[in-house]
Chains A and B, each alone.
Chain A
Amino acid sequence: MLINKEANGDQLTISLDGRLDTTTAPQLEAEITGGLNGVKDLTIDMEKLVYVSSAGLRVLLKAQKTMNKQGKMTVKNVSPEIKEIFEVTGFDELLNIEK
């Protein structure tokens, strides 16, 4: 999986490309742990993301919880497949998914 970060002041956009699963989730977790200091507006772009496993969901939840304390987090460009995963897992209620 490729992770691309684009910072603009206190705004940060993280673009994900590939599969967010057991193997790749630690990469994103490493980015989020300590990488969100001072960030008030986090956007996660899932345009090129093809799959999210439970391990990936855990990292997204961690990011959401972090951002709940210091600003807001938005998830955008969610494909129908990923959307279904969010719905099945109830994450559509936890995450701020941009329509």
Chain B
Amino acid sequence: MKRYPIRKKIQGMVLLLSIAALTITSAVGIICMMRIRSDSEKALTHQMEQSLRNLTSDKAQIASVELENYAQTVASFAQYIAGLYANPNDYPPRTVLPARKANAGILTMQRTLKDKSVKIDDIMKDMELLGNMEAVWRPEFATNKKIISSIFLGTESGLMLCYDTKSDLTPDDGKEVYYDHSKSKWYKLAKETGRTCFTDVYTDSFGFELTITCSAPFYDENGNFAGAVGMDILISNLYKAIVNIDLGNDAYAFLVDGSGRLIAPPDSKGMTAETIYQDKDIDTKISDEILSGSTGISLSSKRIYFAYTSIESTGWKFCVRIPESVILEPVRDVGRNVILTMVMFIIAFVVILVIVAVVAQRFSERLTTPIIELGRDVEEISGGNLDYRAEIYDNDEIGDLAKSFNDMAASLKDYIKNLAAVTAEKERIGAELNVATQIQADMLPRIFPPFPERKEFDIYATMNPAKEVGGDFYDFFLVDNDHLALVMADVSGKGVPAALFMVIAKTLIKNRTQMGGTPSEILADVNNQLCEGNEAELFVTVWLGILEISTGKVISSNAGHEYPAVYRKDTGHYELLKAKNSPAVATMEDMRFKQAEFTLNPGDNLYLYTDGVAEATDIHDELYGTDRMIDALDTTINMSVEDVLKAMRKSVDDFTGEAPQFDDITMLSLKYYGSKEMKI
């Protein structure tokens, strides 16, 4: 598995948290700015639309009022002429001379005739009557000298009177000048529409000024169309007043006439196309909309706003074009700010991350260095150097840990010191116990055969203590020439106390037996002696038998000991000699011990043992038991006494296997040959 040191984990976590926090903050900031931008874009667009609407409406209003003034003036001329026709006798005849070049620059009324078919004499009356108009026109001219370039009228009869200063192009010979006014637009418009109207705009004959003609029809006393009166108006100034707007460099206004033709003075800037349909900035759909005479605002596909309205009197369209970028300029600033902010966020992001990474690195190192150092120190200690002490860096948890390790090292050292002492003590005791075992073993008769001169029996015995010193013992000795005493005993408990108790018991039993008496009497006396001062509450189970060698008769007493096994030659089998047992010796004072009798016939064997044999246990806690013991004994019938015990020991060991020996194993085997028979 991949190893992730604590240092890396801390760094990783801190970096992750920082990135998350910064990302969220940046995202919130940018989203807010975007929203502000979007909102202000809407507000600005709305505001712009409102002001454009007002602007176009105002401008159209100005144009309308101005043009209406002219129309009214011309209409008043027509009315005046109608008045002349209605009351011709109220006005004096006024002669008007033919146009002359000499009059150039002089404000004067001059006549022209439609063509040569018109004779001046035929229309003299009309001329002298209409000549009165000079009096009407003069003040008008005087008032609006800069705007009105010419006032004129033409009649159906073929006369035309012009009142102006423009005689430059006429011949100067004093003859009639011919000009067919009936084909002029102003005349035809007035005649056809029957009302006051404006012609399209044109530049004047000198090519300097935008000019428009306003004309109106007049009628004779019978109400028949008699002619039309017109006035040339210089509208450059009006035009300038209308299109002059201040909405920034890229925004400008322009006028188009009813057919979509641009109305522009020769020196005007901006539009270069002749009609709005030729202007690629305007979508056809928007052009149609403009020409239909409606008022509105449209955004073209080139992202240019067009605001437009119609000027009623002339059918002109007033338009303002303004690129969207101009309107949204302030918003773009916000947009630029958004980008700038994002860049700054990113820079701040990177800078903070670098700082955080460095700080996290330093911090985690500061945190883990004591741990790593402590690890090395502990390795040193665990390597066996218990005098080594870990360095305590900080007064924190790691410092506590280091302190604990130092305490542990100190405790370990003490413990090992104590352990060494205890071990030494144990070794000493063990050595002493080995000596005790040897002494104990030396106390038991161990020279076989013990009575080489006695041919009536063979005897062999062994003792294997479970611990260094055991509580079992056996004994055999001749009481007199014909009596052999056999003792098999087991002191309760183990170890040194049991061994000491065993020494006393063995000595008492042997001494008392040699004084004579029955086993019952012997055990009763030994019992009372052992009970004295037996604070340890130890006791000893004893089987004591006295064999009359000559007869094979055995008198025995069993104080809580295992039943002995006897081999009967006549049955060919071993059997347990069961009799009612008495309690163990040293349990209670003044006890009586039961006594039993049996006889060994020549060829019979006696097998004595302690509970270490019958109660040997295997690893499954199963007891060896007397049944298994009898079966094993039956396989030893022809063996010598020594081999019997070896075979029994092997049988027990085979049974217990790897289970530890719980109890001392002590055995005694006696083969009885009888007094007559001799052993082989």
Q: Which residues of A contact B (CB under 8 A)?
A: 19, 21-23, 25, 50-51, 53-55, 57-58, 61-62, 65, 87-91, 93-94
Q: Which B residues lie within 8 Å of A62 (CB)?
A: 537
Q: A22-B493, A54-B492, A58-B492 are in contact. Are A89 and B541 (CB under 8 A)?
A: yes
Q: Which A residues lie within 8 Å of B492 (CB)?
A: 54-55, 57-58, 61
CB < 8 Å neighbour of B583 from A50, A55, A89 = A89
Q: A88-B560, A88-B581, A89-B541 are in contact. Are A61 and B587 (CB under 8 A)?
A: yes
6 further A-B contacts with Cβ under 8 Å, apart from A19-B621, A54-B663, A88-B561, are A51-B617, A58-B492, A61-B587, A87-B581, A91-B584, A94-B588
B624 at the A interface (CB under 8 A): no
Q: Which residues of B contact A (CB under 8 A)?
A: 466, 471, 490-494, 537-539, 541, 558-563, 581-584, 587-588, 611, 615, 617, 621, 623, 662-663
Q: Which residue of A lies closest to B541 (CB)?
A: A89
B493 and A90 form a contact (CB under 8 A): no
A94 and B541 form a contact (CB under 8 A): no
CB < 8 Å neighbour of B663 from A22, A61, A91 = A22
A89 and B662 form a contact (CB under 8 A): no
Q: Which residue of B lies closest to A21 (CB)?
A: B662
Q: How far is the CB of B474 from chain A (nearest CB, A)?
A: 16
Main secondary structure of the interface of B (DSSP, over half): loop
Q: Which A residues lie within 8 Å of B611 (CB)?
A: 53-54
Q: How far is the CB of A1 from chain B (nearest CB, A)?
A: 12
A58 and B621 form a contact (CB under 8 A): no
Bound together, the chains give a CA A24 to CA B490 distance in angstroms of 18
Q: Which residue of B lies closest to A65 (CB)?
A: B537
B541 and A54 form a contact (CB under 8 A): yes
A sample of 6 inter-chain contacts (CB < 8 A) reads A51-B617, A53-B615, A61-B539, A88-B562, A90-B582, A93-B583
The 8 closest A-B pairs by CB, nearest first: A90-B583, A89-B560, A58-B492, A54-B492, A90-B560, A62-B537, A90-B581, A90-B582
Q: Which residue of B lies closest to A88 (CB)?
A: B581
Q: Which A residues lie within 8 Å of B537 (CB)?
A: 58, 61-62, 65
Q: How far is the CB of A90 from chain B (nearest CB, A)?
A: 3
Q: Which B residues lie within 8 Å of A25 (CB)?
A: 493
Q: Which residue of B lies closest to A68 (CB)?
A: B588
Bound together, the chains give a CA A51 to CA B622 distance in angstroms of 10
CB < 8 Å neighbour of B560 from A55, A65, A91 = A91
A94 and B583 form a contact (CB under 8 A): yes
Among A19, A53, A89, find the residue whose CB has the most chain B CB atoms closer than 10 A.
Answer: A89
Q: How far is the CB of B630 from chain A (nearest CB, A)?
A: 15
Bound together, the chains give a CA A58 to CA B491 distance in angstroms of 9
Bound together, the chains give a CA A94 to CA B466 distance in angstroms of 28
B493 and A54 form a contact (CB under 8 A): yes
Q: Which B residues lie within 8 Å of A65 (CB)?
A: 537
Q: Which B residues lie within 8 Å of A55 (CB)?
A: 492-494
B581 and A89 form a contact (CB under 8 A): yes
Q: Which A residues lie within 8 Å of B538 (CB)?
A: 58
Among B493, B559, B561, find the residue whose CB has the most chain A CB atoms closer than 10 A.
Answer: B493
A94 and B587 form a contact (CB under 8 A): yes
Bound together, the chains give a CA A87 to CA B576 distance in angstroms of 15
Bound together, the chains give a CA A21 to CA B563 distance in angstroms of 20
Q: How far is the CB of B466 from chain A (nearest CB, A)?
A: 8
Q: Which A residues lie within 8 Å of B561 (CB)?
A: 88-89
Q: How far is the CB of A46 from chain B (nearest CB, A)?
A: 16
Q: Which B residues lie within 8 Å of A51 (CB)?
A: 615, 617, 621, 623
Q: Which A residues lie within 8 Å of B563 (CB)?
A: 88
Bound together, the chains give a CA A91 to CA B591 distance in angstroms of 13
Bound together, the chains give a CA A93 to CA B582 distance in angstroms of 8
Q: How far is the CB of A23 from chain B (nearest CB, A)?
A: 8
Bound together, the chains give a CA A88 to CA B538 distance in angstroms of 18
Q: Which A residues lie within 8 Å of B621 (CB)?
A: 19, 50-51
Among B491, B492, B617, B663, find the residue whose CB has the most chain A CB atoms closer than 10 A.
Answer: B492
Q: Which residue of A lies closest to B593 (CB)?
A: A90
Q: Which A residues lie within 8 Å of B662 (CB)?
A: 21-23, 53
Bound together, the chains give a CA A51 to CA B623 distance in angstroms of 9
Q: How far is the CB of A86 from chain B (nearest CB, A)?
A: 9
Q: Which B residues lie within 8 Å of A91 (CB)?
A: 560, 583-584
Bound together, the chains give a CA A91 to CA B583 distance in angstroms of 5
Among A25, A57, A65, A88, find the residue whose CB has the most chain B CB atoms closer than 10 A.
Answer: A88
Bound together, the chains give a CA A82 to CA B561 distance in angstroms of 14
Bound together, the chains give a CA A94 to CA B541 distance in angstroms of 14
Q: Which residue of A lies closest to B540 (CB)?
A: A54
Bound together, the chains give a CA A91 to CA B582 distance in angstroms of 8
Bound together, the chains give a CA A49 to CA B20 distance in angstroms of 70
Q: Which B residues lie within 8 Å of A50 (CB)?
A: 621
Q: Which residue of B lies closest to A95 (CB)?
A: B583
